[in-house]
Amino acid sequence: MKLSTLFWFYKDFETCEDRLRIMRRFNPASAIYGLYGGPLSAVGAAEQHLMPLLDDFWAFPDDKDPNWKWRNGDLIIARWFEDRGQALGWDTLFIMQWDMLVGSPLDQLFHMLRPAQILLSGFRPIAEVSSVWWWAKGAEPETVRDLRDFENLLASRYDYHGPLFACLFVVACLPRIFLERYVASGPPTVGFMEYKLPTLAKVFEVPICEAHPFEPGGWNPRAGVIGLSESARFLNAIGWEPPSSLILKEFAREDGHRLFHPVRRAIKPWMLERKHARWLWRVMRMKEILFGIKSKLGKAYRRASRNPTATEAQ
């Protein structure tokens, strides 16, 4: 199975370069195709910045607003496949988002993935998250309408009346057979991508990889960081960036996590080598401990200042 990468980006080209350099360090021979979905006015700058790190570059040509692009990422990927991707040599695509830190060879990271399988992090029946997930709980008339329209499309186009499924599109691997069927049947223009993709994978009977460690947090964004489990702090869909100390701690471990999202700050590739990560993590932990001691001493001093002794009061 030839596992390649589709690097999906739309802004912050310096961060994109940083993420791609790290990706290349661990995957020097793996093909990385660029999918730019940002403003059309910046296509030239995007290509100039990133083409040296890519094997191919393609820009979504339609002038759509950012909210449309966010909600319809599946249509952008389908358009890339139709216009460019189907002619390239790959079997399965790892969808790498612009703010994703990848610190491992892909064949090790996705060793559990079999040919023609689709991997969508968080895959589950939509009923399991319907009470908390924005796109399913019916809090807004628009989301209710979108979901109903998608159900109607499933019935009319595919004669499908079964359960709907959901995912958090943080970690995704799409096999060629899935995108072929997705494009051939006409990508649905109604609904939201995080229930369209997993449900249509079921409709198309594409085998789903569920035995993997990628379980992101973010079904209920209102819960914030407090609502994230320990494992979900490595991957989340609420925009919370794992601290450097957490990332370095994992790279210091032989069996640590090697995939993080989102990570938007600069990180040098050498920092992720195990010997360097171990040393840097220890330094950062020492700083955190010293900061904690300083903070406690400061609080004690302020309390003492507010409560002078009787002798000092006289």
Q: Does domain 3-242+258-267 have CATH number 3.90.550?
A: yes
More confident site: 18 or 305: 18
Q: Residue 155: what pLDDT? A: 98
Contact 75, 187 (CB under 8 A): yes
pLDDT over 80 at 310, yes or no:
no
Q: Residue 233: what pLDDT? A: 85
Instruction: Determine the average pLDDT of the residues in 210-227.
Output: 83
**Whether pTM exceeds 0.75:** yes
Q: Residue 288: what pLDDT? A: 72
Q: Residue 281: what pLDDT? A: 82
Rounded Cα gap, residues 148 and 250, in angstroms = 43
| C-alpha to C-alpha distances, 56 to 51, 88, 93, nearest whole angstrom | 7, 9, 14
Contact 90, 4 (CB under 8 A): yes
Rg (CA), the chain: 23
Q: Is the dihedral of CA 275, 281, 282, 287 positive or negative?
A: positive
Following CA atoms 167, 124, 181, 96 in sequence, which dihedral angle do they give, to the nearest 10 degrees?
30
The region of weakest confidence among 79-83, 182-186, 248-252, 288-292 is 288-292
Rounded Cα gap, residues 297 and 278, in angstroms = 29
Instruction: State pLDDT tens for residues 269-296.
Output: 999 998 899 988 888 877 777 766 777 7
Q: Record the tokens describing residue 297, joined without a space.
A: 């001493």
Instruction: State pLDDT tens for residues 1-27.
Output: 999 999 999 999 999 999 999 999 999
Instruction: Specify the pairing of strand 92-97 against strand 172-175.
Output: antiparallel
Contact 88, 66 (CB under 8 A): no
Neighbouring-strand partners of residue 9: 36
Instruction: State pLDDT tens for residues 158-197.
Output: 999 999 999 999 999 999 999 999 999 999 999 999 999 9
